[in-house]
A and B are shown apart, each in its own frame.
Chain A
Amino acid sequence: MIRLDNLTKVFDTPKGAVTAADHISMEVPSGEICILLGPSGCGKTTTLKMINRIIRPTSGKVFINGEDTTSLDTQDLRRNIGYVIQQIGLFPNMTIEENITVVPKLLGWDKARYRERAREMMHMIALEPDAFLKRYPSELSGGQQQRIGVARALAADPPVMLMDEPFGAIDPINRAVIQDEFLKMQQDLKKTIMFVSHDIDEAIKMGDRIAIFRAGKLVQYSEPDELLAAPKNDFVESFLGEDRALKRLNLVKVRDLASEEIGLVRPDDTLDTALQRIESYGYVNSIVMVNHKRQPVGIITAAVARTTQGHCRDHYQSVPVVVSLDDDLRKVASLMFAHDMTWVPCVDDDGRIVGQVTQRAITHHLGSRYRAHSKEDDGAALGEASPSSATKE
């Protein structure tokens, strides 16, 4: 757990005092990733760097797992916090192994233990230990270097990690891969992480919570879905972008709003039956045909059913699209648009049909959250009530 209590930084500049972080109070529960998000110069990096005292706070306190860090020795404090920076900062004079084992060595681990740990870390970040441990950072690609950067931060197994735009310098394709790998690692490691980003999509993907900063102040601190559904003010709204409803699609899984009700036909059914079901279920274009295991084998189009006589098994076309329960709605919406469908069937891990997702269900899901929140806001005192846990002690 990381708790910030009225953390403030005032820089003395020739033009006068500049408040880079103004009484920031927030709490990141154990095992969660908190994204600090905002435009440049908003104080997010300053706030992050005050936690490990790269920047010394003017006032305020930092608590880690309930302990006030003010009294801790700076070096001890930092050795127990993983630190990843955008420029990666691997030491070019050291091999990969030496880089990864820097912190364990500082902590006085014995040789066998830290060498074993280096191999363990390499397995964790999916790089072959024998191929990489003896090499130097300059011999690695940017993506590999940042994986090593993450491994170095995790080597001594600190409970808390600070990450300053860690994937910002990596090309978009590799960035997505590393983000996915990192999230997978985090599922097991359950570190408490503060993560600075200026990329709203990254924040939504990575964050359990998002803190929006502006001009040194914490504007809103919420879970991503909450944030997108109910931005607290115009600044947050414009920062999230006008397509924020679409961004929410990333956060919802098919599982959350698939309905079990789905119209199906079997190969033995007649086309008349198919037409009836298309109409009774409100499908405009087509209906799915399944085999005896409920696996989709084809679709019967309304046009064929209307004009032809016979059995479904003789007149089906291939299934254009199915989605699985763990896909996010962004993919579903994209497939719907691409295939001109108002619904898509969803299947379980064995490929059996378990239900459907309709366009209506999606719009309803997004809309209902909006409606709920606008009602709430109307009821609350104008503009001062916090819609989430932000800034609560």
Chain B
Amino acid sequence: MPTLNLSGAIRLLVLLAVFLAGVWSQSSGVIDDFLFYVPDIKYLAVQHLWLTAMSGGLAILVAIPLGIWLSRPSMARIAESMMQILNVGTTIPTLAVLALSMSFLGIGTVPAVFGLFIATLLPIARNTYTGLKGVDPALKEAAAGIGMSPAQRLLRVELPNALYVIFAGIRTALAINIGTVPLAFLIGAGGLGELIFTGIALYDTVMMLAGAIPTALLAIAVDMLIAITAFLVVPRGVNPGRS
């Protein structure tokens, strides 16, 4: 019989702990309580994802062109100060942004999407700008020297080489976004925050978890999705994951 080594023993302990947790949750009725919220979770998760998709999609559509525009040589003079303004924007807490957008857009989905959009915009614009600025000047000179037009330089050389950094920005931004969506409940936009905040208010642990656990899983799933997209989209020669 093979002797048990240390990692084997730990694995065994973990399995045992999971099993005991299962036994406890079954006997205490937590699982049944949780299952009671499944229809709510389904409905709210869709709403949650929709808020993320709207605000995140809009942010990507606006932030990447903004980053590209600021990284052009003709913008060099004002680019850094523009970036500073965006940075100041990032330091405003998202809750404050939501409160501000509620105060002039009212309650509901529109102010929530707007607030989330603002919070998501900045990391993407920042990374697009830094990524493009960080492209080796020798590459840009080579591209210009062999006769590429400015548009060809951007599309064939600069963007492909900055893509990995841009994706890192999108990843951070969407992680922030999906984690902030629960706050949108506070201004009446729904989402999984509904379960979390109601759970807190009622001191109902199971209800709170029914909101918190799916939120966490969604964040992880979206993060993985973007990581996979980056892996597939970033050209092999400049993709640290595929070299």
Contacts and interface: CB of A to CB of B under 8 A. Distances in A.
Contact of B237 (A52, A74, A79, A138): A138
Interface of B: 136, 138-139, 141-149, 152, 156-157, 160-161, 235-238, 243
Given A95-B237, A136-B236, A136-B237, A89 B141 contact: yes
A106 B138 contact: no
Contacts of A89: 136, 138-139, 141-143, 145
Nearest to A80: B147
Interface of A: 52, 54, 74-80, 83, 85, 87-95, 102-103, 106, 136-138, 152-153, 162
B238 A92 contact: yes
A91 to B, nearest CB: 6
Contacts, number: 78
Contacts of A92: 139, 161, 237-238
B141 A79 contact: no
B138 A75 contact: no
A165 to B, nearest CB: 12
Nearest to B139: A89
Of B144, B147, B156, most buried by chain A (CB within 10 Å of CB) is B147
A107 to B, nearest CB: 8
A2 to B, nearest CB: 16
Contacts of A136: 236-237, 243
Contact of A79 (B147, B156, B235, B243): B147
A95 B145 CA distance: 19
A106 B235 contact: no
A-B complex: 4 closest residue pairs judged by Cβ atoms: A89-B142, A87-B138, A136-B237, A79-B147
Of B139, B145, B146, B148, most buried by chain A (CB within 10 Å of CB) is B146
B238 A93 contact: yes
A76 B141 contact: no
Of A75, A76, A93, most buried by chain B (CB within 10 Å of CB) is A93
A85 B161 CA distance: 19
A54 B237 contact: no
A91 B143 contact: yes
Contacts of A52: 145
A161 to B, nearest CB: 11
B144 A78 contact: yes
A80 B138 CA distance: 20
Given A136-B236, A136-B237, A138-B237, A152 B146 contact: yes
